[in-house]
Amino acid sequence: MNFSDDGDLRPRAYDLIVFDWDGTLFDSTALIVRSIQLACEDMGLPVPARHEAAYVIGLGLHDALAHVAPTLPPEQVPAMGQRYRHHYFRQQGELSLFDGTVELLQALKARHHWLAVATGKSRQGLNEALTHVELRGMFDSTRTADETASKPHPLMLQELMAEFGVEPERTLMIGDTTHDLQLALNAGTHSVAVSYGAHEPAAFGDFPARFVAHSTAELRDWLLRHA
């Protein structure tokens, strides 16, 4: 049985805690949705509704754009990706972490959990975001969609578990979309959902998430009691 190393005698249920990025730690959902919509407009395509654009958040960019623009010829998907990046990076500097995120991560670090990120962002995109919010060095490892399989394929979590030698039952995935919850299910890990990101919490009922947090404060409180 593993215990936290901060004087707390409660058993530690998870050695590895993996976070999604956009919509879970980083308040970027609205900008991603608008950037997808503008990219479609630039390409002369039907503009998806907010819920349609939000649904693909968490997937790798190629998969996300192919889903929202199914009539776009495959050879034009990279061009649409460039338009998406243009709109997103133009305003990324205005984004921030959800309130309380730094304190949440610091509290988990104090309990000596390994912390990781599994995201649909590219490596360049995640590195720029981590630098922007001054979290470089906070995470013990990260995985992005352009260097491994996109969610909900389990490879992201499988690679992270192998890196730290942690079994699925000692690993917790936290995310704001059904893609994150399906990723955890596919990898055999436990999961926690947050309701303040891209997907409506009503969709989480199809997955065995241990908890649905409605704020970062709720997430922190649950993790310190149960993780």
Catalytic residues: 20, 22
Distance CA 165, CA 223 (A): 21
Helices (H), the chain: 29-42, 50-55, 61-68, 77-91, 101-110, 123-132, 155-164, 178-187, 216-226
Measured CA angle at 199 (ends 142, 50), to 5 deg: 110
- DSSP, collapsed to helix, strand or coil, labels residue 202 as helix
Distance CA 69, CA 43 (A): 10
Nearest alpha carbon to residue 218 among 101, 114, 65: 101
Distance CA 18, CA 61 (A): 20
Beta bridge partners of 119: 144
- DSSP, collapsed to helix, strand or coil, labels residue 219 as helix
Distance CA 25, CA 22 (A): 6
Query: Phi-psi region for residue 173, left (φ > 0), alpha (ψ -120 to 50) or beta?
Result: beta
